[in-house]
Structure 1
Amino acid sequence: MLNGNTDSQNDTAETQINIPANTKIKKDALKLYSSGKYKESIQVCQEEIQEDSQHIDSYVVMCWSLLANKEYSEAEYWATEALKISKYDQRVIESLAEAKYYLGKNDESLKLFQEYISLVPVNGSHIGDAYYFMGEIYIRKGMYDHADISFSHSVRTDPLYDYWWTRLGYAREMAGYYSSSLAAYEKALQLNSAQPDAIRGINRVKSKLQ
């Protein structure tokens, strides 16, 4: 998972999936994913699905591993298959949204992230990531006010990622809100004084405010 919060899925994976204690293979698939052994995890998940094509958790770990391994077309395929089994599984919806984001399918990805947000609690562990991706999509589409709103939600949810503050600054800069853009860039530098995009952004915005 991209976005300045690349470890968030690994950090929460074991709490998001309930696997019976006596199901060794499923435990191994998740453990392999969490330890960064994505190809091995994918192989285990494929074996699980061959044995039980309706077991949604196998698809979930498969999608996480494919995304982490940057196999976005495969992740899109398996997430689509998973939704046939569990239409409103928020983990699958998020994975499909992310796969489509990396494949450049902006409108489809945006719709899925919006659906994901509607399904999870306001304090859900990946809410900030979803808003972050939405912000990036809006920037791709040149909708900078919408990007401002999305990034504002993401930093409100988790204010410790300097890159998210940097992207908020950029969205505001592109929308012409130079004072609030400067504030966001400055916040990014408070968190990481070496953040290069924030440094460049501050220099650009200050020249426009003079």
Structure 2
Amino acid sequence: MRIHPALFCIVFLLVVDPVFSQTGQDSRQGSARPDALRSYRIGRDLEARDRMDEANQYYNEAAQICMDEITRNSANMDSYTVLTWTLQRQRKYSDVITWGERGLRINANDYRIVETMGEAYFYLDRFEDSLRSMQRYVNFVPQGERTSVAYFFVGEIFRLQGKFHRADIAYTTAVRLDPGSALWWYRLGSVRESAGEFSPAMEAYQRALRLNPNYREANEGLERSRRSST
């Protein structure tokens, strides 16, 4: 089952990418390394403004810089990280896995790459691999920059598998960590509604509508849940 491409953009923009220096890895690289990150960020900002053709120019530049760095120093984990981020934004999910696996052979505990691969596995419909990656990420960094996103993807997988109570737990954790996404509250409402939990579903839909009063699907879910609860 495929997910609408718009979901990718929504999710990825919800959380700013982790602070690049927080791992302390490869902090003494030459001038090319920050250029890759800069090109990636420029591309991301252009993408957010729906200027994807221009964004791809910067993404391609970032990817090439990273590959050149890896050629010079195959143990540079920062290069693998920016490269997988860049490929992810371009929806080159198979390439994310290829380069991510290569990086993890050098450092199996680089959680930045683990989480990015978890998202790529999701979009490739490799749900069990995605779950394993997201669980590893959460275990590594329970307070990490993208922990809420990891729980959201876990919720997505369980929702698509019809495991609504498990999805409820995952989405609930995601919105507890980051309560500012109308989409996430809507998803929580939808799995509660599917499980027959109509009052909790209404609460989640209402939270989604407080964040986005024009959220048609959330409003429709709220009305359905109201009718079903009577």
Q: TM-score interval w.r.t. the shorter chain?
A: over 0.9
**8 Å Cα contact 1:170-1:201 kept in structure 2:** yes
Identify the residue that residue 12 of structure 1 maps to in structure 2.
Answer: 18
Q: For residue 15 of structure 1, report the CA deviation from its aligned partner.
A: 4.5
Verify: 1:30 aligned to 2:32, yes or no. no
Verify: 1:208 aligned to 2:215, yes or no. no
**Structure 1: 5+ residue stretches without partners:** none
Verify: 1:82 aligned to 2:103, yes or no. yes
Identify the residue that residue 109 of structure 1 maps to in structure 2.
Answer: 130
Q: For residue 9 of structure 1, report the CA deviation from its aligned partner.
A: 5.5
| One-letter amino acid of the counterpart of residue 131, structure 1 | Y
Identify the residue that residue 194 of structure 2 maps to in structure 1.
Answer: 174
**8 Å Cα contact 1:79-1:92 kept in structure 2:** yes
| One-letter amino acid of the counterpart of residue 33, structure 2 | K
How far apart are the structure 2 equivalents of 1:74 and 1:54? 18
Q: For residue 115 of structure 1, report the CA deviation from its aligned partner.
A: 0.9
| One-letter amino acid of the counterpart of residue 93, structure 1 | V
**8 Å Cα contact 2:18-2:146 kept in structure 1:** no
**8 Å Cα contact 2:138-2:150 kept in structure 1:** yes
Identify the residue that residue 53 of structure 1 maps to in structure 2.
Answer: 74
Structure 1 stretches of 4+ with a deviation exceeding 3 A read 8-22
Pairwise CA RMSD of aligned residues? 1.8
Q: For residue 16 of structure 1, report the CA deviation from its aligned partner.
A: 3.9
The alignment's TM-score, normalised by the length of structure 2, stands at: 0.85
Residue-pair matches, total? 209
CA separation of 1:95/1:2 partners in 2, compared to 1, >3 Å: closer, same or farther? same
Q: Paired residue for 1:95, among 116, 121, 143?
A: 116
Q: Paired residue for 1:118, among 131, 135, 139?
A: 139
| One-letter amino acid of the counterpart of residue 27, structure 1 | P
Identify the residue that residue 157 of structure 1 maps to in structure 2.
Answer: 177
**8 Å Cα contact 1:169-1:201 kept in structure 2:** yes
How far apart are the structure 1 equivalents of 2:105 and 2:29? 27
How far apart are the structure 2 equivalents of 1:143 and 1:104? 16
CA separation of 1:156/1:21 partners in 2, compared to 1, >3 Å: closer, same or farther? same
| One-letter amino acid of the counterpart of residue 138, structure 1 | F
Q: For residue 190 of structure 1, report the CA deviation from its aligned partner.
A: 0.6
The alignment's TM-score, normalised by the length of structure 1, stands at: 0.93
